[in-house]
Structure 1
Amino acid sequence: MSECPFCSVSAENGFKIVWEDKEFIAFKDRKPVAEHHLLLIPKRHIVSVRSFTRNDVDFVKSMQAIGNRLLDDLGVKADMRAMGFHIPPFNSVDHLHLHVQALPYLPLRAPKFAVSRGWGPFSKGFGWFITPTQVIRTLERGRSVGVLPC
C-alpha cells in the first residue's frame, strides 16, 4: 500500500501552501478547475466524508468556515463560491479534502463538481459531490453520506 500523498503536504514536497493552522492546511490544487481552486485538508488522516457521523458536524462547520475565509481573502463574492467533497469511490485521494473554488469553472470542468439538490427528507440527491452544508444537514439528521440520496 502506498503512502497517502496528503499526509505529507509541505512546500518541500511541492505543494503550494496558502494557509495553515495546527489542525488544517490549505494548498493550491495541482489541476485547478477554476481561477482559484484550493484544497483544505485536516492534518490528521481521515479517509473520506463517508466516515463522518453526527459527532463530526462541528468539524465540517470548521472546514466550511475556513474555506469561506480563504475565499474572502481572495476577494471572491459569496455568489461565486463553490465548496464540496467528492464521495468515494469518486475521489482521487483517500484523504479527506474540501474543494474550495471561485466560479466560474474552466470549460468542460463543471460536471465533476455537480451538486445534486435534495428533496423531502434528503439533503442531497444521487451524486458524487456534496457541499459542506449538505454534509452538515445529513449528519444532523443522523444519516450517513453516500452517493445515493442522503
Structure 2
Amino acid sequence: MAESGSCVFCRIAAEDDRAEVVYEDSDYVCFRDRSPAATHHYLLIPRIHIRNPGELTGEHIAMVEKMGEIAREILAQQGASPEDSRLGFHWPPFLRVQHLHLHILNPPSSMGWFARHLLFRENSFAFMTHAAMLDRLRSML
C-alpha cells in the first residue's frame, strides 16, 4: 500500500522505519511525534498513501470519522483528556511529510506560544481541525 520507499510515513506503516507506535490496526498507525509540540503529541496516519488533506473528498468521510474515533481512544489510553485536545490536519505547504496525518495534541495549554497560536491555530490558513475537515468533506456531497 505504500507509495514508495521515499515516504517516511509509508515506511513507518510498513515497519521499515522506526517510530514509537502507540496504536495500529490493519488500516491505521499512530506514533509519537518526534518533535512534540504538546505533552501528548501523536500522528495518526492511514496505511494507504494520501498525500495531503487537499486530496480528500466526500468519499473519505468514513475514514476521517474513524481517525477521530481512534484519536480519542488513544488519548484515553494514554491518560489524557480527549475533551481537552486539539485534533487537526496541516495544509500544504505547511506539511513536512507528504502523507495525510492527523495531529493529536493534548493539552493545548502545554503547547508553546508559537505552536498554539500559529502552527496549530485552529482553522487557520495552515491547520484545519478534525471537525472542520468533516464539515468540509460533508459539504462536497
TM over 0.5: yes
Provide the residue aligned with 1:115 in structure 2: 122
CA shift for structure 1 position 63 = 0.4
1:89 & 1:12 partners in 2: Cα distance? 26
Cα distance per residue 1:78-126 (max 9 Å; x no partner): 432111000111111100000011112332321200013xxxxxxxxx5
Contact in 2 for aligned 1:84/1:130 (Cα 8 Å): yes
Provide the residue aligned with 2:69 in structure 1: 65
Asked whether 1:142 is paired with 2:140, we answer yes
Structure number, greater radius of gyration: 1
CA shift for structure 1 position 44 = 1.2
2:61 & 2:133 partners in 1: Cα distance? 8
SS at match of 1:47: coil
Q: Match of 1:138, as an amino acid? A: R
* Alignment gaps of 5+ in structure 1: 117-125, 144-150
2:5 & 2:75 partners in 1: Cα distance? 32
**TM-score, normalised to structure 2's length?**
0.87
Indicate the RMSD between aligned Cα atoms, in angstroms: 1.9
Provide the residue aligned with 1:146 in structure 2: none
1:128 & 1:80 partners in 2: Cα distance? 21
What fraction of aligned residue pairs are identical, expressed as a percent? 31
